[in-house]
Structure 1
Amino acid sequence: MASALLTGAVLPSIFNVVFDRLSSPEFAIWIKGKKLTQDMLERLKTNLYAVQTFLNDAEQKQIKEGAVKDWLASLKDAMYVADDLLDEFFTKAATQMDPGTFFSRYLNLQDRKIAKRMEGIIERIESIVRQIGTLGHREIPKENMSWRITTSLGEISHVYGREKDKEAIVRLLLDDADTGDGDISVIPIVGMGGIGKTTLAQLVYHDDKVKENFDFQAWVCVSEEFDVMKVTKNLLEATKKCTCNLNNLDLLQQDLKDQLSRRKFFMVLDDAWNENPSEWKTLLQPFRDGVKGSKVLMTTRNEKVANAAQKASPYKLGLLSEEDCWLVFSKHAHLSTSSMENPDLKKVGRDIVKKCDGLPMAAQALGGLLSENSDVNDWNRVLKSEIWEFPDEVTPALQISYYYLPPCLKECFVYCSLFPKDYEFDKNELILLWMAQSFLRPGKNQTPEEAGDEYFNELTARSFFQLHSTKENKFVMHDLIHDLAMFFAGKFYFRAEEHENVENVVEIDNKTRHLSHNAKGNYPFSKLLRFCNSVKHTRTFLEINLDPWIPFNMENTPCILLSKLKYLRTLSFKCFPLESLPDSIGELIHLRYLDLSETRIETLPESLGNLYNLQTLKLVRCSKLKILPVSMKNLVKLRHLDIGNTGLREMPKGMSKLKSLQFLSHYKVGKHEENKIKELGALANLQKSIFIYKLENVVNIGEASMARMFDKNGIESLMLSWSWNEQNTFASEIERDILDKLQPHINLKELQIWNYRGTIFPDWLGHSSYHNITTLTLYGCRNCCMLPSLGQLPALKRLKISDFETLEIVGAEFYQKDESCVEKPFPKLETLKFQSMGCWKEWCSIKFNAFPRLKQLIIKECPMLRGELPNHLPSLESLKIQNCEQLSYCVPRAPAMTYLSITGASEVRIGELPPLLRHLFIGGSH
């Protein structure tokens, strides 16, 4: 592969893309017999070979030498232009009706024009190469700091050196005597960036004594953009654990006040920057009605911020001792005990730690850099790096961590500079953005998505990303890490939000290839449009509206961008008030990623089908979108199609032609020959999850078989849905056979079946071969008179059964199909919920020694249920029974129970109360 040419170079992604194109068979066809073109190719290769050995020296020097940084920027800019030309060539060649004869015809017509453009690019690169001598570059090899996937993302590293700090903060939080009525105690933690303020706050937040002392806790990141209404809304959403659509500060504060009153709360306000006392007074006003002892913990770098929020003295967080810093470094280095006892390695490591100056983030980053690497020479290279002597605009330890990143990761990391500080990254979304920019270099038999997953994991292992404090599957970048990305982004990245408070227009450099904009900010589109002609080679435009509920004015239609920026690879108008897309979208032949989610768009133009290179199309929550263009079937490179929560009436015809699809969020079964369920059969590479609905349009088992669901071993989550209002009294006779033929692969982890119209379920549902299923939902199966045998699903943890209108008995079949089975039924089930079972009368549960791990049992709206329920649940922690009027119930033996609520039951008999019970509510008839 040509990509091996530049292993270790500073500009690998764009260099490797160009070399791969030049080495392709199509390009070889073109140059065959064309001396001029062959000469040009040799000149280009010669110059790129010549320059690569100087790139490592230049990369290091650019930190302190502006001339070198400009030289690198010019070289990279020229390579981008070359790639744009080659991408245009390949796209136009590939989209002709007769590709076999087109190459010669097209290229003969275009030879002169393409050769002239290529000649100009080569001359420019030659001029750049000639400057090497004037810059004093040296030929130095790249040190091979091997790339490893080192840690699990879910691992929580031990925190060193903060035990006393944690104890001190916990004491302050548990002290109820430090405030009077109508007062609120704010405890500020103050310290420099990277010293561990957020880490300390997390330790305290998850402390068991703290959890027991407060009725509820919430965490909100305040960040540099201190908007009282925005922060209040975030606080309210964190408190209510749901989205808030209010845009009036008074209403927001009243709602927050209502939520906080009569409850003892603990709030964390992380990363505060605002020094205005009056704004803090306004923000904290709703907090004053909480129960005495309620607390707010705040983290900030600035003591003035602490004083603005609270008159009490802040808690000042100090640097780590050298010994604790060494422990942090060692932990992230992930070396064996024997390696760490190597005296030579340990001495070098100790010397590296001294240079961290007690800053835990520096020790963590350098530990991650050297993770699982016991080569003393590599450690010495880090210790003796010239970067330690460079100006500390960015912490030297972090600069070193960036310098030694594998080349394939550098551009991925720098790309994150487009997002604001404290942005909550979604891993899968970021991987798709990287893929659109050709940053990912898959290995043999590896998909780009799999390569992106490795890249993300490695950046996380090296502490460039970290798990969000409270949100599952979300990641953030520390402010210092974000500063590092901004520092190395240079002229090629422009984030308009960063300049929104600048009175004068901030010019965008003509080398800009990636830009992002916040539509609700103070940098309007009119300013961006002013520079579009000078940045026509831009590859990324991201609309980052941080709060979609805040209205904003659109000074000029964003569609003007489409006529200006013809080289876009990534385009996102997410949450923008966009109502239509012009036909000119089809002219963006380089486009790989298009996100129109949460817009007001109603239709998409047929010209969308011209986007031959499109890999990702997102239309999430486009509620007005009713139909997709017929030309969708032409998007043969499409890999991700997300159409969740749209108003689509049916799928376009010919989806089976999109054989590259890796992810299809939803499929609405149609009635036409080319949009029936059989179209799914050709989509053999589908991964993750899919929601298949309108299954009433499947009329026979042959169609269901042709979907080939059992062969899709990448699907982990599956929802099968019939329409609720489609009732056919004769349908139940064939529904079981249809569902039987929709049997998924045994790799499935989550299954939902909605509004199934059969009377019984097929045998595969509940079969023990489905050893990965952890979550199962059966909803609205109103004709079913018998539950499937689910007890032998070995990994099932969560089970919900709801809206069965004819089911009367939950009997032995629910537990096991084979009575000779010796395994306990439901061996790992933790949550079981029955709801809206109007005819359910009896639960046969006494003779089965089931549910050994059940923690939560919920039974709601089952008015006919009577008799006994399971009487021994050793792991049960929470029991809730609601509106079961005929139920005469004896509370089971449950020594672990902490929550018990029974309302609307006929009779409740309680023996000895469980010793751990903290919440008891018995209502209705006793």
Structure 2
Amino acid sequence: MAETLVSNIAGAVLKKIASLALPEINLAWGVKNELRKLENTLSTIKSVLLDAEKQQAKNHAVKDWLEKLKDVVYDIDDVLDDFSTETLRWKVEVCGSLIKEVSNFFSSSNPLVFRSKMGQKIKKVRLRLDHIAADKRNFHFTEQVMDIQVQNTRRVQTHSFVRTSDVIGRDCDKETIIELLLSSCDHENLSIIPIVGLGGLGKTTLTKLVYNDERVEENFERKMWVCVSEDFDLKMLIEKIIRSATGANCPQLDIDQLQTYLRDNLNGKKFLLVLDDVWNEDLMKWKELRDLLMGGANGSKIIVTTRSKKTASIMGTNTSYNLGGLSSDECLSLFMKYAFRGGEEKKHPNLVEIGKTIVKKCGGVPLAVITLGSLLYMKAEERDWLYVRDNDIWKLEQKENDILPALRLSYDQMPLDLKQCFAYLSFYPKDYDMLKDNVIQVWIAQGLIQQPDGNQLLEDIGDTYVNELVSRSFLEVVADDGEIELRMHDIVHDLALSIAGAEWLTMNSDTTKITGRVRHIMFPGHDLSERKFSLPLQNLTRVRSFSFQNVETSVSLSSLDMLMSTFKCLRVLAIKGADFEELPSSVGNLIHLRHLDLSCNRCIRKLPDSICKLLNLQTLNLFMCMQLQDLPKGIGKLINLRALYLTSYQSCLPEKELEGLTSLQFLYIFHCKHLTSLSSGMQHLKALRTLVISHCPGLTSLPSEMKYLIALETLHIFFCPELDLLEGEGMQGIKNLRSLILESLPKLVALPEGLQHAASTLQCLRILRCTGFATIPEWLRNFTSLQKLELEYCPLLCPSEGMRSLPPVQELRIKGSSNLSRICRREIDDAIDLQSEPDNHSYPWRAIHIPDDVSLDSDAYDLDIYLEHKDFETDSYDIGNMDDDKSEDTNSAYSFSMPDC
């Protein structure tokens, strides 16, 4: 299933050629001429790439042509990167000024050797490209517009019949959905219930169980089942609904006649409509259809099944029902049902034991269980079962309706640029919690995120991509506590591996041969030694990513030097959790490097000065390098650095070096034990958007130069016992702040007055474990954009005028603050009394759940209050014991008012 995507890479290279040909750069004539020829040829090829990429699945010759083209395009990218890096070096080191123009780059003062070498390199790759361009005539490709991004893959149509005995483990889900269907509101004649989940989880099967239940049959006058699947075309959908409702086939009617016929048949009737397998994310298309369905009787319902959270939010009037996976026991029962004939598993206890391991690969996804069970049906040889157990699902045979083809449908719906980013996620190990910022930084380093016309930052585009993958259920947010952590389901990871193909390699001790097309290597082993770099790796000069992840493993200087000398085209180098005292100076030769991660090294004491030659470097991660003394002089030359994670012995950030870091957007300062102040050089970091300071025991205040951080949006400060934010002017003038988290700052007694400058922008304010914090200021009422306010474990926090006049936040959490929560107990009593008045508008808070074991009569009980505003969409709300965050929800729901403090 591996596929080759060249169109985005080609587009990025064309943009790079255009940027090199800017009129202010006086190119030598030979170079300019070769660049023009290269651009023309690549543009011609690019116009047919969409057609070629569609054909490759069924035509091996096309796939081979695309692979050869990708090799050349990557090589062109490397040559152009050489050129742009030399231009940058000339600008920084030779001109001696960051703002001086380079119009004389190819003047007589520039070395003739480089000029000649550059012309030869460009000509060489251009001739290779010409040969490939000539070969494309053999395939008769069709030219297509490159912004046509989504493939409309035909999906299997579904129906409403199901054998109940074939379904395992969905009884509770069924009862929950039926309860939603049978509930009714007098003021609501139509409500929509979205069922959301990953492909293969069984959304359609669950809906069939509900659809055929006797209680549902009795409750609705008319039931209709429509498989949407294809384009969300209004006329086609009306025809399908009419056909399901009446049996009539009306292709001869125009759309106006159809809508009249539809409304006549539904008006005044209580109906249930299932819209199965919906992909539409266009609100206006949905509104057109919904308006035609509004004439039913009160209590009419629509069930929507979809893989997209965005689709669910557009269509649903109820909170989405997020379908989970099956339990281990349920998966095993389902597996046995498909792997054996009835009762035969008792004859093969050895196979059953292997089967228990196999189902763990499926992660609770029923279709994956069925796929692997069916693959082993009637196979009694242990070797067949061991083969399935020991291989990733993507390496096993797949039929049209199996799990990977089912997930592939979701992948086919992605835009081209998102497809590349998704495939790159296969580079992370299974069951690995990925930091969102790290994922985006690596995407940028690899050139997978392209800046469209306009000023949108690459990081913001990457954030959109992550949200899109979460919406499509390809990524899951597993933590959001200052830093967002993401995880990929094992089955989705298998899909990513199947798409990535030969470019990605995870090495192990048995790896002896590697193809020359490998460009991304993951090395999870325990021994990064010279032996590992002998035969397999020596000729892999085109590798662009190398990642070694292991805690407390020593690495020799010679091994590192061999790595630097071998992989000269690296964009990403991550050596995490490995211990070495010295980074070889040869790292300065990795001129293409964008991302360098040396985090969690317990031994390294200094960085070589040659690291300052990495002018393309965008991310430098020195997190938890506890012995690092300081940053090398000249670090300010890294004018493309966008993210710096720093742990060091420095007492102050180097003021002079900060002047050069004009591109820095993310600065993370961790465990700097000797840090007493940041730096007055902070004023130069005018692009800085995120500042995180954690575990800096000597830091006493923030510099007044913070007011120059005009782009700062996120400020998180943790575990700084001597920091007093009321000292100095550190918060003065920060006008664009969106998120402020203050945790474990015992000297924080009140919010600094300077925070008022962010009254129109601050969206999230969290104050956690600040034992001296005592009051909420009255001026917080002016924070009109505030959406989330958390006050946790601040024991001195008392009722105040500020608490009485809080702005209408969407989320309010008060925890571990007994002075407040005891007062709030009487508000819960009032809320219980008002449960018969759910529409009482004087209570702006959404329904919440109270655990059965909560005793509101207990004076000692300290409530954990978590409220959601009625206008805010969310999935869960809870009030629980402050010592137990995992309180079970009950079916009792009450409205809750703002605490009268």
- For Structure 1 versus Structure 2, the TM-score category normalised by the shorter chain is 0.5 to 0.7
- Change in Cα spacing, 1:127 to 1:892, as seen in structure 2 (3 Å) is closer
* Residue equivalent to 1:116: 120
Structure 2: distance between partners of 1:564 and 1:579: 21
TM-score by length of 1: 0.58
Per-residue Cα deviation, 1:55-76 (whole angstroms, up to 9, x for no partner): 3343233223333222211111
Q: 1:574 to 1:144 in 2, by over 3 A?
A: same
Partner residue, 2:426: 417
SS of residue matched to 2:644 = strand
Tell me which residue corresponds to 1:449.
459
Deviation digits for residues 307-345 of structure 1 (CA, Å, limit 9, x no counterpart): xxxxxxxxxxxxxxxx98926x48xx7x58777326699
Shift in alpha-carbon separation, 1:844–1:338, aligned structure 2, 3 A: same
Distance change in 2, residues 1:164/1:485 (3 Å):
same
Q: Percent identity?
A: 23
Which of 442, 463, 478 is the equivalent residue of 1:433? Answer: 442
In the superposition, relative to structure 1, how do residues 168 and 44 fare at CA in structure 2: closer, same or farther (>3 Å)? closer
Q: Conserved in 2, the CA contact under 8 Å of 1:369 and 1:462?
A: no
**Secondary structure in 1 matching 2:538:** coil
Secondary structure in 1 matching 2:169: helix
2:774 and 2:105 mapped to 1: Cα distance? 63
Q: Which runs of 5+ in 2 are unaligned?
A: 96-101, 152-158, 174-197, 210-223, 250-275, 287-397, 831-846, 868-877, 884-889, 894-901
Do the aligned residues in 2 keep the contact of 1:627 with 1:650 (CA within 8 Å)? no
CA positional deviation for 1:470: 8.8
In 1, Cα distance between equivalents of 2:75 and 2:726: 58
CA contact (8 A) 1:720 1:753 kept: yes
SS at match of 2:634: helix
Alpha-carbon displacement from aligned partner over 1:26-84 (angstroms, at most 9, x marks no partner):
665667562x3344234323322332344334323322333322221111111111211
SS in 2 for 1:485: helix
CA distance in 2, matches of 1:890, 1:399: 51
1:494 aligns with 2:505: yes
Asked if 2 retains the 8 angstrom alpha-carbon contact of 1:409 and 1:455, the reply is yes
1:639 matched to 2:639? The reply is no
SS of equivalent to 1:439: coil
CA distance 1:345–1:414, change in 2 (3 Å)? farther
In structure 2, C-alpha distance between the alignment counterparts of 1:29 and 1:827, rounded to whole Å? 51
Q: What SS does the aligned partner of 1:562 have?
A: helix
Give, in whole Å, the separation in 1 of the partners of 2:498 and 2:820: 67
2:815 counterpart residue number: 832
Given residue 635 of structure 1, which amino acid in structure 2 is its aligned partner?
L
| Alpha-carbon distance in 2 for matches of 1:767, 1:417 | 43
Matched, 1:535 2:518: no
Structure 2 counterparts to residues 455-854 of structure 1, below 5 A:
455-463=465-473, 465-467=474-476, 473-477=484-488, 481-496=492-507, 503=510, 505-520=511-526, 526-545=531-550, 548=551, 557-603=559-605, 604-643=607-646, 649-653=651-655, 654-666=657-669, 676-691=678-693, 704-708=703-707, 712=710, 714-719=712-717, 723-724=721-722, 736=726, 738=728, 741-742=731-732, 744-745=734-735, 747-752=737-742, 755=745, 762-763=752-753, 769=759, 772=762, 774-777=764-767, 788-789=777-778, 792=781, 795=787, 797-800=789-792, 802=794, 810=798, 812=800, 815=803, 829-834=812-817
**CA-CA distance at 1:559 after TM superposition:** 4.1
Which residue of the other structure, out of 66, 75, 78, is the alignment partner of 1:72?
Answer: 66
Secondary structure of 2:71's partner?
Answer: helix
**Separation in 2 of the partners of 1:85 and 1:630?**
29
The secondary structure found in structure 1 opposite 2:451 is coil
Give the alignment's TM-score, normalised by structure 2: 0.60
Structure of higher RCO (CA pairs closer than 8 Å, 6+ residues apart): 2
| Residue identity opposite 2:654 in structure 1 | P
State the distance in 1 between where 2:420 and 2:408 align.
14
Tell me which amino acid in the other structure corresponds to 1:637. N
SS in structure 1 at match of 2:522: strand
**What CA distance in whole angstroms lies between the structure 2 residues aligned with 1:762 and 1:471?**
25
Q: Which amino acid is 2:569 matched to?
A: Y
- Contact residue 650 and residue 668 of structure 1 kept, 8 A: no
1:798 partner amino acid: E
- Aligned residue for 2:615, secondary structure, equals coil
Superposed CA deviations along residues 217-238 of structure 1, whole A, max 9, x for unmatched, are xxxxxxxxxxxxxxxxxxxxxx
Pick one of 8, 14, 17 that aligns with 2:9: 14
- Against the structure 1 CA distance between its residues 143 and 479, is the aligned structure 2 distance closer, same or farther, given a 3 Å change threshold? farther
Give the Cα–Cα distance (whole angstroms) in 2 for the partners of residues 79 and 741 of structure 1.
48
Residue type of the partner of 2:601? T
Asked whether the equivalents of residues 816 and 864 of structure 2 are also in contact (C-alpha less than 8 Å), the reply is no
SS at match of 1:541: strand
In structure 2, relative to structure 1, the CA distance for the partners of 1:471 and 1:402 (3 Å cut) is: same
Change (3 A) 1:94 1:803: same
Write out per-residue CA displacement over residues 132-175 of structure 1, whole angstroms, 9 at most, x where no aligned residue: 34x43333425864579xxxxxxxxxx999996899537799xx
Q: Name structure 1 gaps, 5 residues minimum.
A: 1-8, 149-158, 174-192, 205-322, 351-362, 375-389, 727-731, 836-842, 856-873, 882-886, 903-913, 918-926
Would the aligned equivalents of 1:21 and 1:86 in 2 still touch at CA under 8 Å? yes
Closer, same or farther: CA 602–137 of 1 in aligned 2, 3 Å:
same
Q: Is 2:129 aligned against 1:125?
A: yes
Q: Across the two proteins, how many residue pairs are aligned to each other?
A: 655
- Would the alpha carbon gap of residues 55 and 577 (structure 1) be closer, same or farther in structure 2, given more than 3 Å must change? same
Contact 1:663 1:689 in 2 (8 A): yes
Superposed displacement of residue 597, structure 1: 1.6
Distance 1:624 1:600 in 2: 6
The structural deviation recorded for 1:439 is 1.3
Say yes or no: does 1:98 pair with 2:102: no
> Any idea what SS the aligned residue of 1:74 has?
helix
For 1:326, the equivalent position in structure 2 comes to: 227
Distance of aligned partners of 1:404 and 1:774 in 2 relative to their CA distance in 1, 3 Å threshold: closer
Secondary structure in structure 1 of the residue aligned to 2:126 = helix
Partner deviation per Cα, 1:515-569 (whole Å, 9 max, x = no partner): 2221249x98734442333111211112245xx48x7998973442112111111
- Opposite residue 741 of structure 2, the aligned amino acid is L
Q: Which amino acid aligns with 2:14?
A: F
**What is the one-letter code of the residue matched to 1:615?**
Q
Q: d(CA) in 2 for partners of 1:828 and 1:588?
A: 47
The residue type paired with residue 227 of structure 2 is: W
User: Counterpart amino acid of 1:429?
Assistant: N
How far the C-alpha of 1:403 sits from its partner, in A, is 5.5
Measured after TM superposition, the shift of residue 103 of structure 1 is 3.6
1:169 aligns with 2:169: yes
Sort the Cα spacing of 1:915 and 1:537 in 2 relative to 1 into closer, same or farther, 3 A. closer
SS in 1 for 2:815: strand
Rounded to whole Å, the distance in 1 between the matches of 2:864 and 2:470 is 45
Q: Identify the residue that residue 23 of structure 1 maps to in structure 2.
A: 18
SS of the residue corresponding to residue 604 of structure 2 reads coil
Letter in 1 for 2:728: I
Q: CA deviation at 1:107?
A: 5.4
8 Å CA contact 2:617, 2:640 repeated in 1: yes
- What is the deviation of 1:594? 0.9
1:626 shift after superposition = 3.7
Separation of aligned partners in 1, 2:18 and 2:707: 38
CA contact (8 A) 1:539 1:570 kept: yes
Closer/same/farther in 2, CA of residues 493 and 681 from structure 1, 3 Å limit? same
Q: The residue matched to 2:547 in structure 1 has which SS?
A: strand
Please give the alpha-carbon distance, in whole angstroms, between the structure 2 residues aligned to 1:552 and 1:672: 28
Distance 1:741 1:55, change over 3 A: closer
CA 1:163–1:485: 2 relative to 1, 3 Å: same
